[in-house]
Amino acid sequence: MRIQIRLLGLFALVFPSLWGCAGMSVSMPGPVGAITNIAMQTAPKVLQAARPISDSEEYYVGRAVAARILSTYVLYQEQPLTQYVNLVGQTVARKSSRPYTSRGYHFAVLDTPELNAFACPGGIVFVTLGLIKACGSEDQLAAVLAHEVSHVAHKDGINSISQARWTQVLTTMGTEAARQYGGVAGELVSLFEGSIDDVFKTVVVNGYSRSAEEAADAEALTILNGAGYSPGALEGLLTKVAASDKGGGGIFRTHPPTSERLAAVKAKATEGPPGEMELLRAKRFRQVS
């Protein structure tokens, strides 16, 4: 009974578009009627198993991944810095190839000296205090956030859920109609939690593929240019990060070698002398950070 209540709450939140179908039934007498009712409830959900994950589903998966991250890291509580990071983050997000998500972009700071940043599916982005302090200007902070926004825009996190697992989640939702009081409820919760594990391991433990990181760097350059920031700021940031690489964890564990990223970025946008506006933004950055 407890797991059925848990399942009810979970899927009412995670799959609001599907939940409205759960109570549909057609009353027919006898075994033929029972089989018909089950088929009518199950068939739409089985067909939906082949479809992509919707934006609202992506958001709820991302929220669960964010909660998992916050069980490991502590949120930084100083509001001026958090508000500033959101201001810069929203600015770059609007210039990305996906300026709008189901519930919008949200940016937060993690209170750790580790150099890292995480992009959860649906638009929740974390950046560590250590990485912010490694930045020398607002433009470099914008480069960090533009890179993470690009992962959201490309759906790199949500795409780490294996199609086989997601299909199994949705088809199991269908078979629930046939086994309303059976053990499928526990299986369904387990499958969904497995999907969260897939994303969490990709975002926090293993990192994205080399091609995904290169694509995120490439779009970050476009975003920076479109938002009025210096594209060369990404080169400056990667240069600093490479200098601090002592073979530790954090960003060095989950990203390709910084030297390789730096070479690719240099080929597209080289850092030059800062302009007047860049100097003003750097001053604003120092005042907040």
Nearest-10 crossing angle of helices 138-153, 79-93: 60
The distance from CA 207 to its chain's CA centroid, rounded to whole angstroms, is 12
Q: Report the alpha-carbon distance of residue 48 to residue 44 in Å, rounded.
A: 6
The pLDDT of residue 255: 59
Query: pTM of the prediction?
Result: 0.73
For the chain, 289 residues long, give each residue's pLDDT as a single digit of tens: 443 334 334 434 444 433 334 334 434 445 445 444 544 554 455 444 456 778 988 998 899 999 999 999 999 999 999 999 999 999 999 999 999 999 999 999 999 999 999 999 999 999 999 999 999 999 999 999 999 999 999 999 998 886 666 666 666 655 544 445 345 445 555 666 778 888 999 898 888 888 899 999 999 999 999 999 999 999 999 888 878 765 555 554 555 567 777 777 877 876 667 778 888 898 999 999 8
Q: Report the alpha-carbon distance of residue 212 to residue 203 in Å, rounded.
A: 12
Tokens of 71: 């069980």
Residue of 213, 209, 217 whose CA lies nearest to 237: 217
Tokens of 201: 């391991």
DSSP 115: -
What is the residue extent of each domain of the chain? 2-48+158-204, 56-157+208-288
The pLDDT of residue 274: 73
The pLDDT of residue 104: 97
Q: Which residues contact 46 (CB under 8 A, 6 or more apart)?
A: 170, 171, 174
CB neighbourhood size of 269 (10 A): 20
